[in-house]
Structure 1
Amino acid sequence: MPSLLEERTEPGLNQRQRAAARATPVSAYVTRLGRVGRGVLGIAILAVIWEVFPRLGVVNGYFLPPFHTVVAAWWDLLKDGDLLRNLRASLVRSVAGFAIATAVAIPVGVAIAWYRPIRELLTPPLEVFRNTAALALLPAFTLILGIGETSKISIVVYACFFPILLSTITGVATVDQQLLRSARVLGLSPVATFRKVVFPAAVPTIFTGIRISGAAAILVLIAAELVGATAGLGFLINYTQMNFLIPEMYAAILTTTLLGLAVNYGLVALERRFSRWRP
């Protein structure tokens, strides 16, 4: 039978625990809100600097128009449909190249990390290509595959392949050995061990390479679209620069930045979904 002291203290402890449980989500929300607020403030300060410096003559207002002029040009491009048409072309190319690279790099990385003969066979040639920059090979891709869609998607595949490959190899090869021993004790087959133990443990590391490749897909594609393209954000940047449409050029560059941010945050959300087991 509980003592009088226990009867007095237990309700108080439970109340404090319930209060702490209620306070934890609230404090986390406040912390997240403060982080977002500081990020928005930083962007606002950058926009104000962009607006004020050309007005004060710190920089030449013709070559760097005020921020509101660039926003107005961006809105005109959006209304005319030019921005969406070029954005759609870039998205199709980057998504296609990124998807192909991911679908190929993850199985190859798993095979290299999991099987020694495959690692010894593939590592030397992959090292040769890994140390050759994608943009250095852009002329070769254009000469061999032409200036059409194939060369542009292929250069994106090449740029995205190696970050995902290396992160997959690292993630699979560095799985905690205690987890593997536990799987053997439980009698899991090699396939079940990989599916239930190895791959979930390697997901955070793999997504590091996927996020790097997501940014590389945009950057390399923009560079590829500067050469011989008739649509795409890179083409739009090059076209407006050649015709001295300076506000429109910055609007296209700003669209590229927003696209990169959207890709990054989308991949972060996807990583959290696949890593819900992590604390």
Structure 2
Amino acid sequence: MNDGGGRQFGPLGTTLVIIPTFNEAENIKAIVGRVRASVPAAHVLIADDNSPDGTGKLADELTVEDDQVHVLHRKGKEGLGAAYLAGFRWGLEHGYGVLVEMDADGSHQPEELPRLLTALKGADLVLGSRWVPGGRVVNWPKSREFISRGGSLYSRVMLDVPIRDVTGGYRAFRRETLEGLGLGEVSSQGYCFQVDLARRAVKAGYHVVEVPITFVERELGDSKMSRDILVEALWRVTTWGVGERADRIRGRRKG
């Protein structure tokens, strides 16, 4: 976690909570309602990947009931990273000062969002962390906890980033941070997308803070985690880590 160097941070501006969806008809109304109750001033953007279960239609109904809810209809399922990148672009184009990543299934509790936003007053990026003191997971099998903890540890060591929960997806960014991360160069998905943004933020010198959260396993709908996502994460993290080490070695030789 960077210490911020004693610098002053500007006002936050309006918050946009981006919620990517694919087949989340059972969850979308409840999660949007909880966000609006927890942070009434925040706006919500539902980025739906043309869900065949009718999630997009339900999202449209929410926009009629609440003018602080918006929908971004996408052509099809292109992955978590692509959905967030589209949501970031939409939010930046519409002038939001804070952009939040949040899952649709309730695993990221909206009631904890005020604490992330409070921490963002003195940071460039705030991560909701399961693996710092006070953080925890609920209803996870030990095997999944082992994979998640191991993935964060491997990423932290390989990429030399001082973040305990590198793969977590509950995050609050200042718009200036996103604008400085080179989003046009990001092509990774899933776990790997989260690792990629975290490493970019650290390497760019942004002040990154981790806030403990309670991660609750979804009760409704199906998890989007897959073997392909895990394999991509392992391959990309290894490639980035080896590449960065090679660059440092070449730099020392030239020096």
Q: Which protein is bigger by CA-based radius of gyration?
A: 1
Same fold (TM > 0.5):
no
Highest RCO, 1 vs 2 (Cα 8 Å, sep ≥ 6): 2
Give the structure-1-normalised TM-score.
0.21
Per residue, is there more helix in 1 or in 2? 1
Greater share of strand = 2
TM-score of the pair, normalised by structure 2:
0.23
